[in-house]
Amino acid sequence: MTAKSEHNILIAGGIGITPIVSMLHKLTADNNSVELHYSANTFSDLAFRQRVEQLTGEHAHFYATKKPDGQRMDIDKILATPKPGVQVYVCGSRGLINAVRNSADLLDWPSV
């Protein structure tokens, strides 16, 4: 993580939540602005969900991709408006990481 940013977008898929939770602890302890987007196959697969909700409250967004009524993460919508001072962090499957990188590139997010 870099020096304090204006806002942080954390994106996690599956067990990728593990390092993201560590980052979330640090960011919230330092009173940084943060939102988290976390996807798993089902809602019961969302590890650390209660802890994440305690740390982020309404700024936590959960997705269950294999549930019939589940919602998929819309990466283009999450990253729709690049702004100076906003950092994006992602951890998950290669597919998720590549999707976030591709979306960030297409939407002209600056790379670090």
| Cβ partners under 8 Å of residue 104, min gap 6 | 79, 82, 88, 111
Question: With 70 as the cut, is the pLDDT of residue 111 above it?
Answer: yes
pLDDT score at 4: 66
Question: With 70 as the cut, is the pLDDT of residue 88 above it?
Answer: yes
Question: With 80 as the cut, is the pLDDT of residue 37 above it?
Answer: yes
- CATH code reported for the domain at 7-106: 3.40.50.80
Contact 1, 23 (CB under 8 A): yes
Going from N- to C-terminal start, the domains of the chain cover 7-106
Of residues 36 and 6, more confidence is placed in 36
Q: CA-CA-CA-CA torsion for 65, 70, 73, 78, nearest 10 degrees? A: -170
User: Which tens digits make up the pLDDT trace of 10-36?
Assistant: 999 999 999 999 999 999 999 999 999
